[in-house]
Structure 1
Amino acid sequence: MGTLEKVAMGIIGIGMVTTLILPGRQTPQVINSFTNLFRGSLSTAMGTGKKV
């Protein structure tokens, strides 16, 4: 990869990270929902999940 390509990828990467962490985004809620889905499935498999 050339220097120009590396600089362009760095700018795009910084832009994507900035977009994810700006205030008003729902990124934390989406990450939490995936985490809770995994934890819920695991707790159900282990038999330690919440009683319904």
Structure 2
Amino acid sequence: MSTVEKIAMGIIGIGMVTTLILPGRQTPKVIDSFSGLFRGSLATAMASPRR
């Protein structure tokens, strides 16, 4: 992994942890949005419709 990739993953990881532990957050919606991001990226790469 390049340095840029490591930095990007670190920022995403810190954002996820912060979002999950702060009070008043909607954890299930946050998890769904992150999984939707990855599913959408995979669907785009495979040229299939998003679900």
TM-score, structure 2 as length reference: 0.47
Q: Rg bigger for which structure? A: 1
TM-score, structure 1 as length reference: 0.46
User: Structure with the greater relative contact order (CA < 8 A, sep ≥ 6): 1 or 2?
Assistant: 2
